[in-house]
């Protein structure tokens, strides 16, 4: 039963990977599409990425992604907690329907709606001023990107955390409170601590989604905030530097896959050692 | 600080975070809804003063969007069918497999979830060029099978956890052929998961931008790519009207999914479910 998947997926997974690897080693000749087939293979395209002006894009990607996924956890956990512990069945159904709906709603539509709402003519344009940020400054663009990314990851985080919270015994919280612990202490020292592996896993998944995003920086970053994805797309669409784009792609792929599985492994091994 | 005040403060913070979550998710959609009825021909301050259906009429009259919608529907349907067929079988096979490297194979099949879509799209473009495939539709379907497969396989695999292998084995020991046991026992039990997986796959394909941007050609483009091009070209409100149509379609999809599979079945009730 595995063979249909293998026959279909093996070429689709390996073909692009090998094609990119090969392309990234070709010398780039300005003015032609695709690397020079006649030239000797080179690592020059990778050396170019290590230049400080490129490293900046990587740092922006990782920093903005971290802020966005962190905020998504802060908002997503109470929502998941509310749905699992407090909501009546109809409210629970409505909220879960809303979360799945937001998850399914086209990303472009959501980013468009955000830019119309928080943009210069939108009803919530004052939000950035509330935080002391001028909306037309680079910080303003970063705020919009953070809002856009949060909107993408919030439903995902909340739905994942619902799964986590459902497997934590509510009696533990009741026990803490009946022994006299205040609500906040119960919440942080019992509920959050018990959910910590799930919270971290949800955060890592959200982070992986944030740093691969293309649409949000493209539509609301206004050129101030560009992710590595945008850089790769520009290599393809604007300058037709295929070898350079391929080298960036391979670098980004290695970093995202390494970060995702590395961090997830770290979380799992830490909690296994603790005897869970 | 007394315990009562601390509890009240905590409760206030807790409820305001939940309110913030809902407001942040709902308000932008409402703003798009209001703007889609704006009668002004320019981007004016919110809220609009006069209302009309002009943006909906413009969308209905615009062949550019219609062509994108048709391509999106074809690509999403074909990719989802292929991914669901292969993904469901793979999920069932992997749930029973005991061979070495099973976990590695599973991780490899799920890896497109973690690799940025732009990388997948760019890779597929270069790969298709090497194979001599220049047809937009073929390239798009290849790319979309790659991104929908992991969603289908993961969702189906999660739903298989609750189905005991002993049912399938019981059918076998009662003399059923393996394929018959699969079709009549395992698949019906897993249908909620398969349906949810296929829905996720379809939505992923229909919404995709990162992969499609690289694989479209001048005549074959998906709806999100068409919207993106329009968005960067001009700021008219046809996209707001389109957004409202998307929202309505999504709500219908959720209601349908709830009727067919039950949202609770998809999210699960957990060990301590009420």
B258 within a domain of the structure (yes/no): no
Give how many domains chain B has, as a whole number: 2
Q: What confidence score (pLDDT) does residue B176 get?
A: 87
CA distance A208 to chain B (A): 6
Q: Residue A222: which region, alpha, beta or left (left: phi > 0; alpha: psi -120 to 50)?
A: left
Can you give the residue ranges of every domain in chain A? 51-273
Residue in the structure block whose two tokens are 């079945």: B265
* CB of B6 closer than 8 Å to CB of A181: no
B68 touches chain A (CB under 8 A): no
Query: Looking at beta carbons, which residues of chain A come within 8 Å of B126?
Result: 16, 19-20, 23, 34, 242, 246
What CA dihedral angle connects A224, A230, A232 and A238, to 10 degrees? -80
- Residue B10 and residue B124 share a domain: no
- Residue B100 and residue B235 share a domain: yes
Task: Determine, for residues A167 and B149 on separate chains, whether the beta-carbon distance falls below 8 Å.
Answer: no
Hey, CA dihedral for B34, A116, B257, B67, is it positive or negative?
A: positive
User: Best interface-test mutation with B: which of A6, A9, A75, A125 has the largest number of B CBs within 10 A?
Assistant: A9
State the average pLDDT over residues A168-192.
91
How far from B48 is each of A122, B57, B81, B235, CA to CA, in Å? 11, 18, 43, 16
Burial environment of residue A9 by CB neighbours within 10 A (0 to 12, 13 to 18, 19 or more): buried
Q: What confidence score (pLDDT) does residue B272 get?
A: 66
What band does A275 get if pLDDT is binned at 50, 70 and 90?
very low
How far from B80 is each of A125, B94, B115, B142, B216, CA to CA, in Å? 40, 20, 20, 11, 18
- Residue B90 and residue B168 share a domain: yes
B211 within a domain of the structure (yes/no): yes
The CATH number linked to B214 is 1.10.3720.10
DSSP summary character for residue A86: I
- Residue B132 and residue B15 share a domain: no
B177 within a domain of the structure (yes/no): yes
Task: Determine, for residues A101 and B126 on separate chains, whether the beta-carbon distance falls below 8 Å.
Answer: no
State the average pLDDT over residues B169-184.
87
- Residue B174 and residue B98 share a domain: yes
Q: What are the tokens at A247?
A: 């080298």
Phi, psi of B186, rounded to the nearest 5 degrees: -70, -50
- Residue B218 and residue B108 share a domain: yes
B264 within a domain of the structure (yes/no): no
pLDDT at B161 over 80: no
Which is higher by pLDDT, A128 or A224? Answer: A224
B40 within a domain of the structure (yes/no): no
Query: Looking at beta carbons, which residues of chain B come within 8 Å of A16?
Result: 120, 122-124, 126-127, 146
B108 within a domain of the structure (yes/no): yes
State the average pLDDT over residues A63-73.
97
- Residue B173 and residue B84 share a domain: yes
Pick the CATH number of A51-273 from 3.90.1720.10, 3.30.930.10, 1.10.3720.10, 1.10.10.10: 1.10.3720.10
Which is higher by pLDDT, B193 or A202? Answer: A202
Burial environment of residue B85 by CB neighbours within 10 A (0 to 12, 13 to 18, 19 or more): middle
Domain that holds residue B9: 1-26
- Residue B114 and residue B187 share a domain: yes
Would the ipTM clear 0.95, i.e. be above it?
Answer: no
A220 touches chain B (CB under 8 A): no
What band does A79 get if pLDDT is binned at 50, 70 and 90?
very high
A27 C-beta neighbours (distance < 10 Å), count: 15
What band does B263 get if pLDDT is binned at 50, 70 and 90?
confident
B197 touches chain A (CB under 8 A): no
- Residue B204 and residue B71 share a domain: yes
| pTM for the whole structure | 0.90
pLDDT at A195 over 90: yes
DSSP A119-158: STTSTTTTHHHHTT--TTSHHHHHHHHHHHHHHHHHHHHH
Burial environment of residue A197 by CB neighbours within 10 A (0 to 12, 13 to 18, 19 or more): middle
State the average pLDDT over residues B143-149.
96
State the average pLDDT over residues A164-181.
90
Q: What are the tokens at B203?
A: 């939505």
What band does B270 get if pLDDT is binned at 50, 70 and 90?
low
B49 within a domain of the structure (yes/no): no
State the average pLDDT over residues A2-31.
90
Phi, psi of A137, rounded to the nearest 5 degrees: -90, 170
State the average pLDDT over residues B210-219.
92
B270 C-beta neighbours (distance < 10 Å), count: 15
B207 within a domain of the structure (yes/no): yes
Which is higher by pLDDT, A153 or B160? Answer: A153
pLDDT at A276 over 70: no
Which is higher by pLDDT, A30 or B115? Answer: B115
pLDDT at A38 over 90: no
pLDDT tens by residue, B3-30: 889 899 999 999 999 999 999 999 999 9
Q: What confidence score (pLDDT) does residue A251 get?
A: 94
pLDDT at A274 over 60: no
How far from B109 is each of A8, B152, B191, CA to CA, in Å? 11, 11, 21
- Residue B81 and residue B211 share a domain: yes
């Amino acid at each position: 039963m595995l063979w249909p998947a293998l026959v279909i997926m093996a070429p689709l997974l390996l073909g692009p990977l090998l094609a990119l690897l090969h392309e990234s080693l070709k010398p780039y000749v300005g003015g032609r599409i695709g690397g020079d087939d006649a030239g000797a293979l080179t690592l020059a395209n990778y050396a170019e990425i290590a230049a400080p002006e490129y490293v900046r894009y990587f740092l922006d990607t990782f920093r903005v992604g971290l802020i966005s996924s962190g905020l998504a956890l802060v908002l997503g956990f109470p929502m998941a907690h509310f749905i699992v512990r407090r909501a009546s069945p109809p409210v629970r159904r409505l909220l879960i329907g809303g979360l799945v709906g937001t998850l399914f709603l086209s990303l472009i539509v959501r980013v468009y709606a955000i830019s119309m709402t928080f943009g210069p003519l939108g009803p919530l344009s004052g939000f950035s001023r509330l935080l002391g940020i001028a909306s037309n400054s680079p910080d303003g663009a970063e705020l919009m990107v953070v809002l856009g990314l949060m909107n993408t990851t919030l439903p995902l985080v909340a739905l994942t955390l619902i799964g986590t919270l459902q497997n934590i015994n509510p009696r533990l919280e009741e026990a803490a409170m009946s022994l006299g612990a205040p609500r906040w202490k119960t919440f942080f020292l019992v509920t959050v601590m018990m959910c910590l592996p799930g919270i971290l896993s949800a955060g890592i998944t959200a982070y992986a989604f944030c740093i691969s995003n293309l649409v949000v920086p493209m539509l609301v970053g206004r050129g101030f905030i560009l992710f590595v994805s945008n850089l790769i797309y520009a290599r393809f669409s604007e300058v037709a530097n295929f070898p350079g784009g391929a080298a960036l792609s391979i670098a980004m792929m290695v970093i995202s896959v390494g970060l995702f599985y590395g961090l997830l492994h770290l979380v799992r091994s830490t909690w296994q050692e603790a005897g869970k | 600080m007394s315990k009562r005040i601390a509890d009240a403060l905590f409760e206030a913070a807790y409820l305001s975070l939940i309110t913030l979550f809902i407001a942040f998710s709902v308000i932008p959609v409402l703003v798009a809804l209001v703007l889609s009825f704006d009668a002004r021909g320019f981007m004016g301050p919110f809220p609009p003063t006069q209302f009309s259906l002009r943006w909906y009429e413009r969308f209905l009259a615009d062949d550019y969007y219609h062509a994108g919608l048709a391509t999106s529907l074809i690509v999403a349907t074909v990719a989802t069918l292929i991914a669901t067929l292969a993904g469901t079988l793979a999920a069932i096979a992997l749930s029973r497999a005991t061979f070495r490297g099973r976990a590695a194979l599973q991780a490899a099949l799920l890896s497109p979830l973690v690799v940025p879509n732009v990388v997948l799209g760019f890779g597929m473009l270069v790969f298709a060029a090497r194979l001599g495939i220049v047809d937009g539709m073929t390239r798009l379907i290849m790319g979309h099978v790659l991104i929908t497969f992991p969603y289908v396989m993961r969702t189906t695999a999660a739903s298989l956890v609750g189905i005991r292998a002993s049912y399938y084995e019981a059918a076998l020991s009662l003399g059923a052929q393996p394929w018959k046991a699969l079709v009549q026992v395992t698949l019906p039990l897993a249908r909620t998961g398969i349906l949810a997986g296929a829905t996720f796959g379809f939505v992923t394909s229909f919404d995709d931008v990162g992969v499609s941007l690289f694989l479209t050609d001048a005549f074959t483009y998906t709806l999100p790519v068409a919207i993106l091009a329009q968005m960067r070209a001009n700021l008219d409100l046809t996209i707001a009207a389109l957004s409202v149509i998307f929202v309505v379609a999504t709500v219908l999809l959720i209601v349908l999914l709830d009727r067919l599979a039950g949202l609770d079945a998809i999210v699960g009730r957990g060990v301590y479910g009420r």
